Structures are given as structure tokens and as C-alpha cells.
A and B are shown apart, each in its own frame.
Chain A
Amino acid sequence: MKASKLSRRMFLQGAQGFALAVPWLASWEAEAAPTPPLRFMCVASAFGRCISDWVGPHPRPVTEADFSTGALTDYAADISPIFGPAYDRSLRQKMAIASGLDLMGWTDGHAEWIVLTGGGSGRGDPNAFGESLDCVLERSKKFYPTTPMLTAIRAAPMTSSSLSVTSRFSHFQVVTPRRTAAELYQLIFDPAGVTRRAERNAGLARATHLAYDDYRRTMNSRRLSLVDRHRLDQYMTIMSEIEQRIAQTPSITCNQLPPNFTTSASSAEALHDLFFDMEVAALQCGITKLVLHTLKHVQTELSAVGGPDFHACAHNNTRLTATGLKFTDYNRWTMNCVASAMKKLDAVIDSDGNTLLDNTLFFYSSTDSSGSHSSYDMPVLLAGAKGVLRTNTWVDYRQPAPSSNRSPRLGRPYNNLLVSMLNAFGLEQADYSIAAGQAGFGEYSDGLRRQEPYYRPMVTTAARRAKLPHLFL
């Protein structure tokens, strides 16, 4: 065991040297011109949206067996009061709106991570888990064949709401997002910050190397039982792998920000634009392939810029708030921000001549459906992902009519959307399973809904693993 350990380590150290050299071989990069990877960007808001103003009646809907559909460009004017003029023809041709995706997991409407987990509990269900889709991608060798500088950028301007949960440390936890523009700037672009990170990585690699030698000394020089040696040996193996990974982390300097970029903003939308600029630049530079952005505003957080209380507004739906704004106004403000992010992506030409939006699976949803703790018919917008996503389309998965006066029109499990997105990145069940025997992805912890006769065919093992019809090619 000892001999193989040493030779393996020597091999890994040699591989590190090679991996460190690769980023500096500019001629290789120029000659290889690899196909740009598919990135993932998720923007999520809170409080849902006003359903009645979400998508206007489609002028020429086509009804299929499982859904209705139509082209977004068929709308002569705005798609709806919420999707206003910002959603022009060029943007519509690169996006899709889905209706009728219902959460199957427990939620109180305020767990932001439901957008990427399908439920807010992470517990209580044999098929539940404490892991959001981004964390699965972050760890996936299919998504990241090589170590990125940053596995993900998680931003939540003016709020601490996170879209991301993980059980990477064997304990369910919310992953903390970056709250301020200065913090994000320092993380990605500040040359001093980049240097610090490089120093830190070098320090960690050095420290791990030193510690490895200490462990080896302990193994070799002390009177320990075979069981104890095995225990230390396993620890050392992991240390060696960590050392290798740290050493392989590239240090990329990115200068793709607009001229005269500052990290201060005079309004909420300007602040989100600042973040979007940095996030798009990071995707463009290759610092990361994964961006999460929380669009959440409540009165306390926006009071400095005179914002309304969107939370109360959402609960009261169409009732006017003290500021005179309606829930629909908040929704339009949100979707204008979303459009801004998509247009920034679409303005960047990637190495294959397509735009960055074409090479990004862009996903928008919210923590709630209707603003009143409902989780039927979640708001969903997808864009980009050329060749993967069916664009210029509206698709409605809801049943034609409700089963009773009190029931909503039921649709399909939202979790099938999560599975479809994982499939889009080449991940199959074995790649995204967290527990043995897991069926599909996402929470199915709402027992009442799971046992609803309508949904029963949709929660079988096979159905949980299926991707959504029509929306993905």
C-alpha cells in the first residue's frame, strides 16, 4: 500500500505541473478553438406573479395531446402587461414560456431554493434531498470536465435569499450568495482579489503538501494498528486529491466589463444591471459556467431607493398599495430586469459566432406561483440553449378545465423541468442521483399532492425521470 501511495502521489504531482502549464500555452488555445460550452444562468424572483396578467390568450393556440402551444411571435402586441415592450421580436425568438408546472414538494412560498429543488423542505420524503440543481452541476464532471476558477457565482443583490442548498457537508445548508456589487467585483475582477485567490490556492496546496508529509511520518513512525493505519491512509488519499485539485484551479484575469464600470448604483434596477454586467462578463471570460441571481425585494431592503412593499403587494394581488403600484407593476419590473439580463447575454458574441445567450441555458422562475403561497402553475421562462431548447414558443401543460370549481387547472410536475435541464447538460439519472434508487430529481414531499389521482401517473419512477414534452429538443 505504501509503495503504491507514493507512486500515485508522484504521478499526481507530475500531472499538476502539466495542468498548471496548460493555461499558459496560448498557442494551444488558438489552435484548438473548442466548441463553447453550454452555460447555465438562473434568475429567480420572489412572491410569484399575478396569474391573470402573466401571459395573454394566445391568438392561434395549437392543442396537442399533453399540452397547448403557440409561437410567441404570434402575439401582435405585447405578450401581456407583464411581458411588456422589452420582450421584442428578437428576444421572443430566443425564449420559451411554460405554464402549468406544479410543485410536488412541500413549500411555504418563502424558500427561495424551491426554484432549483422543487420543494422547500429537503426532508420528509424518501426521494427528497438537500441539494439544488446548481450544486449538482457544480460537482458534475460532465458539466465541468476541468476545474473552473469559480464553480459558481451566486448573487443576491440587497437580500440574503439564496437559491442554492447543498448537503455537500453531509448537513443540509443554504449556500450563502454575494450580496454587494463590491463583493462580487472583488471576487471576479479586482486584480488584487485575483492575486489573493491565487496566493490562497498556492498556500492551501503548500499546506496540504506539508500536512501530507506529517501524516506520512505519523503512519511510518508510530505504533498504530492496521485499522488505524487504514484510517489515516484514507484521509491521506483524500488530501492528495484535494491538493491536486487546488493546484489545477486556473487563475483567470477578466477585463470584459464595460468602460467606467463602478460598483455603485442609484436604483434597484441599476444595481441588478451592475450585477448582470459582472455575471455576463464572468461567463464570457470562462471564470465560471454557472450563475445564480436572486431578484427579491421587500420594503425594508428597498426603502433606501423608495421601493414599494412587494410582499404585501403580492398578497393583495391587484389591490393598489400605498405607492399606487399593483402586483402586476412589480411583475413587469421583475421581467424587465430579466429581459435586461438576457439582452446582455445576447449582445456578446461567443467563440463559435453564436451569442452568449445561444450558448447559455437561461432560466427564470419564482419562489411562489400567485403571490399567495400557491405552488400550482409556477412562472417559468427559458431562453437560449440553441439546439437544445425549443424557442419562440409558449407551452401550457395544464388540463383543459379544472376538476371542480375550487380546484386550479392542474398541470405537470415542475420536477420534470429540472430533469429536462439536467438532461440538457448531458446528465442522466446516475449523474444527478444523491440517494441510491433515486427517481428523477426534485422533491415529491407534498403527500397530498402526490396522492392526487390526477398526478398519480406522473409520479411513477419512470415518469419522474422523464423530460418535459415539446419544450426541449
Chain B
Amino acid sequence: MRQFVVATMFVVSACEAKLEFVAPPPLPVQPEPNEPDGCDASESARPAVRRLTSAEVRQTLQGVLGSRFDAYATRLFALNALEADPLMTYVAAYGEPHTESQVQGLIETGYELARAIAESPGDTALVFDSCLKTSTGHQSRTCWERGFDKGVRKLWRRNPTAAERDHLFAIAAAQPSGKQAVMEVLLSVLLAPDFAFHIEEGDSGRITDEQLAARIAYATTGAGPDDTLVTLAHQGALSDLAVVREQTERLLATGPGRDNLELFVNEWLKLDEVMLPHPRTGRYEPNAIGRTQPAQGGIGDMGASYYNAELLNFFNYVVWNTGGDFATLMTAPIAFPAKSGTGNKYFLSGAQMIYETSGYAETQTRDALTSFEAKGNPGLLFRAALLTTETVATQPIRRGVRLMNRFLCRQLPSPGLDIVIARNEQQPLDPMVLANHQIVTEMTSSTACVSCHAIINPAGFIFEAFDIVGRRTSHESVRNAETQVLKTHPLPSAPHHIEIERGQTSALSTPDELATAVANSALARECMATYFFHHQHRRAPTEAERCTVRRVAQSMRNGRPLKEAFVDLIANDEIFWRRP
């Protein structure tokens, strides 16, 4: 009961308080239809145990091993009995429930890494150097203490207790050699729940400084706390929000911090699902983008990673180079074309052709970006990576669902495989007679489909202004299997009625109008912030946390730079607390 009262008080105060970091005056919370006060005080249980993602496993190990990690990683993955790379392969597979492959991946990773370190005596300075100097060194307690203080503390994100130190030392002392001792101790450390899981034990309430350091570190870099954070936690200096904010800013701007932010974009926009243009695409319109003329290069040679790199370059440029806000992210008419790869005989950039820029850069890296004007493709919504398709016709349904789901957080139920298969087995409509949008309308006109597609289709049809490679177009082209143009259709008639805000439909005619509408949408800002929350915590926000997310999202409306907004989403009062 006491906990409930405390929790309730906290939730109310968190929602009503003016957060310290917010520069403009507090904005009224826009209530959702089913949330009369916008911030329901009832609190749901917040898990205190969460398994690390594979990216976090990798980053944590890298944080401890430093540059040596790469050498170990190479060997580790070459030796993996699964003939696959478990760290790389379940990057996207976070959350619950656990799967057998994820658990096995962690076990095998721990085993191989422990063995690799134990078999590299020169590198055991990592934690246990003095234990191997003599044949009985590993039986000396003192030689292990440094390892417990530094290595184990970093791997577990907390100081091992006296009992745990005793336990680990007992394992070491029982081994016949120093090498075996290092292997067994590391194995115990790497396979322990404290490595694989974030564990915040104890009663609800304010978390410890050690736990706080771990929260800041994983939210910003996806790795364990660095020395600075550990020191601050040890000094008790993290209880001040200003210090937390300062550390968050520092870590977000580091290489791992920026990597982690890119990983967020990958997850938010599901970039692993970016489809390459159909191989035949590369051959159509040979004078423009054809592979038939090698000197002209082709989109067919651009891999998904190239598309994704352009999108991430765009994101990085807006966030870091210009200090841009959410509106800039959604509307900036720029692109980042570059050569599609060294050694590629089709050397001209496909991106240049898609965005119709005046040129391209030799290379584009996030530390050296050159922007080119691309008026036809304003903002994040109209990156080529989000527009391409492997089919010979555009996919308005896919595009519309992405807008609704990823940018406006509108959860639309799946139609079910049976309906999709049955639809595919219908008599196909003739694209020589009907335009693509007319075919989609007809295909989705049944009662089972229409309620959702009344929302999806208009959203998708506005993207018909972009062809299958993401290039702006003024008409729809029907192509045969050889990608020859057989017929053209006009684009769907405007305006398109799209629900950009809750309960408010906007009539939009052009991609530029859509970009502007999303840029001004409270729902869109909150949606991105919610995805960022999910990236940090691997779960949906509780009601109290939703208040914070919404408040930060609202601050973005006033031109708050995105890099500050991301700091706001991590370094706020919520970070100090654990809920019942």
C-alpha cells in the first residue's frame, strides 16, 4: 500500500512538474481520446530484468576489451560451431521471449571468448595479469582482486560482492593452471545472469548510482559504463540531473553513441527490410540509369546498404551537422549521393540519379558529409531507401503502412496470411487498363479489408509520385517483364485525406505537403520519441513514462534541436526511479 501511494505521488508529480531541461514554458498535454487527463496515474509493472541485445553484448565486450575485441571477435566467429555469427545475427532479435538460438548464441560466445582470452597470455593484462606469472600465481587471492575490481565490475555493471569474489576465486584456485583458471573464471563471469541481463534488484524506488550509471551508458552507447561514469557513480555524483544530462550529452556524441543512434534509426524505420530494386530495373531506361552502358552506372548495382547509408547520412547531417529539429528532419530537400563503391565499374552514383542532384561526392561518411539539393525528395519520408521496391510496380500499401505505423504510430491489424494468399490468387487486374492505385483500390475493396485500407490507401497513394527506385515522377509507367514501358497512367487524383493528427484528417495533394504536415504533427513527434524510448528500454513506456515522452515530443515543436531532444528522452527525472 505504501509503495502504491509513493508511486502514485511520483506519477502525478512527474506529469505536472515543469521538467528542468525544457527551455520553453510547459505545454499543455494533449489528451488522447481514451486518456482523459493525458497521463493516467495507474502504473504498470516495469520489468527490472531485461536481456541485453546482441548489439549491447558486443558493445559491452568492446568497452571492456578495447581494441583487442576485434582480434577476439574474428577468431570467435571463425570458430563458432554454428557456422554463423551469433552476435551479428540476432542484433534485431531483442525482447521477450527468449529463443533457443539467442540463449545458445550467448553461451557459445561466452565460451569461445573465454577460451580465446585464456589462450592469449599477452592479453591477459586485461584483468588477471599477475595470476599467470608463476605456476601457482592463479592460487593467490591478491592477483585476482584487480580483475574483480575492473574487469568483472565492468562486465557485470556492478561491484561483485564479497561472496561472489569468494566464489570466483574458489573456481580459479581449483584449476591446475593459470590458463585454465582464467578460462573458467571468465566463463563464469560471461555466462552469469549479471552479464547477460540488466538486473535491477531490490524494492521499488530510487535506483542505486551503479544502476543509474548502467542506465545512462546503455541508453546512450549500448555499452556498459565507462571509467568516467563509474567514477561519478562511486562518488555519488549522479544524483544530480544536471550531471546526468551532461554525461548523456557526452556519451551520445561519442562514436559508440552515434552508432547507437544509427541503430535506433535502423530499428525505427526497419531498414533491414529495405528492398533492392528489381534486377530488371537496372536495365530500364538505359540512357538514364542503365547497366547496359557501364560508364553510366546503375541503380541495379546499389546494395541495400548503400540506400541505408544515404538515409543514415541524411539523419546524421540533420542531427549533428546542422543541429536541426524534427521539422528539418521531415522536410530538408537534400541528399547525399556518393560513388556506389570503389572498384565498381558502374561507377556513377545511383543516388545521384534518383535524387536528380547536380553532382555527387567521392565518399560520404558521417564525419565528412556533403549535401546536395534534392528538391524532389523532401525529408526523411522520401528517402530512396523507404521508397524502393523489388517489384516492377510501386507498392502503395507498403508505403502507406510505413507512414501510418512508423511515423504516426498507428497500429493497424495484419490482414492475416489467408486473406493475403487468397487475394494473390484472385484474377489479377490488367495494369494496361487500370492504374496501380485503381488496382489497389479494387483489391482492397472487400469488407474484410476496407476499414483499414480506407486509412492506408490514401496514405500510400500520395507516394505514387515516386517510382520504384524512389525517383520523383509525374506519371505511372506500366512495364512488361523486360521493363519496357507499355503504357502510362496519370497519378491518382488529389487531394488525399490522411489522418496526420489523432481524429483530424488533412487533405494533402503533394509529397511536399505531406512532409510539412508530418513535420508539424504532434503525433509524428511523439511517435518518433516513443520508438526511441523503445530502443532504449526494449518495451513500451508505462503511463508515467509516456507523459515524459509526450512532453519531450511537444518540446520538439518549438524547434528544439533533435540532439537535445534525444538527451531529454534519456536524461529526465524518470531515469532515477524504478517502479513496482
Of the candidates B100, B188, B481, which one forms a contact with A210 in the assembled complex, judged by CB atoms under 8 Å apart?
B188
Q: Given A123-B275, A169-B93, A459-B424, do A208 and B107 touch, yes or no (CB 8 Å)?
A: yes
* A173 engages B192 (CB within 8 Å): no
B367 within 8 A of A: no
* A238 engages B98 (CB within 8 Å): yes
The segment from A251-259, A262-270, A320-328, A435-443 found at the interface with B is: A435-443
In the complex, what residues of B have CB within 8 A of residue A170's CB? Answer: 89-90, 92-93, 99, 101-102
Q: Residue on A with the closest CB to B187?
A: A207
In the complex, what residues of A have CB within 8 A of residue B187's CB? Answer: 203, 207, 210
Of the candidates A228, A238, A435, which one forms a contact with B100 in the assembled complex, judged by CB atoms under 8 Å apart?
A238
Of the candidates B98, B101, B192, B278, which one forms a contact with A234 in the assembled complex, judged by CB atoms under 8 Å apart?
B98
A215 within 8 A of B: yes
Docked pose: A437 CA to B392 CA in angstroms: 26
A171 within 8 A of B: yes
The segment from A341-349, A392-400, A445-453 found at the interface with B is: A445-453
Docked pose: A280 CA to B422 CA in angstroms: 45
Of the candidates B92, B197, B481, which one forms a contact with A448 in the assembled complex, judged by CB atoms under 8 Å apart?
B481
A231 within 8 A of B: yes
In the complex, what residues of B have CB within 8 A of residue A231's CB? Answer: 47, 49, 51, 96, 98
Q: Given A106-B278, A171-B92, A235-B51, do A211 and B417 touch, yes or no (CB 8 Å)?
A: no
Docked pose: A107 CA to B276 CA in angstroms: 11
A146 within 8 A of B: no
> How many whole Å from B196's CB to the nearest CB in chain A?
8
* A211 engages B191 (CB within 8 Å): yes
A370 within 8 A of B: no
> How many whole Å from A317's CB to the nearest CB in chain B?
18
Binary flags per residue of A219-246, CB closer than 8 Å to B gives 1, else 0:
0001111011001101100110110000
B119 within 8 A of A: no
B272 within 8 A of A: yes
> How many whole Å from A447's CB to the nearest CB in chain B?
5
In the complex, what residues of A have CB within 8 A of residue B45's CB? Answer: 225, 227
* A207 engages B424 (CB within 8 Å): no
> How many whole Å from A171's CB to the nearest CB in chain B?
5
> How many whole Å from B415's CB to the nearest CB in chain A?
9
Docked pose: A211 CA to B391 CA in angstroms: 48
In the complex, what residues of B have CB within 8 A of residue A228's CB? Answer: 47-49
* A450 engages B191 (CB within 8 Å): no
A53 within 8 A of B: no
A329 within 8 A of B: no
B81 within 8 A of A: yes
Q: Residue on B with the closest CB to A457?
A: B425
Docked pose: A10 CA to B481 CA in angstroms: 62
* A166 engages B84 (CB within 8 Å): yes
B147 within 8 A of A: no
In the complex, what residues of A have CB within 8 A of residue B389's CB? Answer: 124
* A224 engages B201 (CB within 8 Å): yes
Of the candidates A207, A444, A448, which one forms a contact with B107 in the assembled complex, judged by CB atoms under 8 Å apart?
A207
Docked pose: A404 CA to B107 CA in angstroms: 58
* A203 engages B111 (CB within 8 Å): yes
* B417 engages A222 (CB within 8 Å): no
* A204 engages B107 (CB within 8 Å): yes
In the complex, what residues of B have CB within 8 A of residue A215's CB? Answer: 193
* A223 engages B202 (CB within 8 Å): yes
* B102 engages A169 (CB within 8 Å): yes
* B192 engages A211 (CB within 8 Å): yes
Of the candidates A214, A223, A373, A459, which one forms a contact with B192 in the assembled complex, judged by CB atoms under 8 Å apart?
A214
Q: Residue on A with the closest CB to B425?
A: A460
Docked pose: A239 CA to B101 CA in angstroms: 10
A168 within 8 A of B: yes
In the complex, what residues of A have CB within 8 A of residue B101's CB? Answer: 168-170
Q: Most chain-A Cβ atoms within 10 A of its Cβ — which of B194, B392, B424?
A: B424
* A461 engages B93 (CB within 8 Å): no
Q: Residue on B with the closest CB to A407?
A: B481
Q: Would you list which residues of chain A between 125 and 139 have a CB under 8 Å from chain B?
A: 126-127
Docked pose: A456 CA to B428 CA in angstroms: 10
Docked pose: A106 CA to B392 CA in angstroms: 11
Docked pose: A241 CA to B103 CA in angstroms: 10
In the complex, what residues of A have CB within 8 A of residue B83's CB? Answer: 154, 175-177
B91 within 8 A of A: yes
B545 within 8 A of A: no
* A124 engages B390 (CB within 8 Å): yes
**7 smallest A-B Cβ distances: which pairs?**
A169-B89, A437-B417, A211-B191, A170-B93, A228-B49, A108-B279, A451-B428
14 A-B residue pairs with CB within 8 Å:
A107-B279, A127-B421, A169-B84, A169-B105, A170-B90, A173-B85, A204-B107, A204-B111, A207-B107, A210-B187, A227-B45, A231-B51, A235-B98, A437-B418
Additional A-B contacts beyond A169-B86, A173-B85, A238-B99 (17; CB < 8 A)? A123-B273, A126-B417, A166-B84, A169-B93, A169-B101, A170-B93, A171-B272, A203-B111, A214-B191, A224-B49, A227-B45, A228-B49, A239-B107, A242-B103, A435-B417, A447-B393, A461-B425
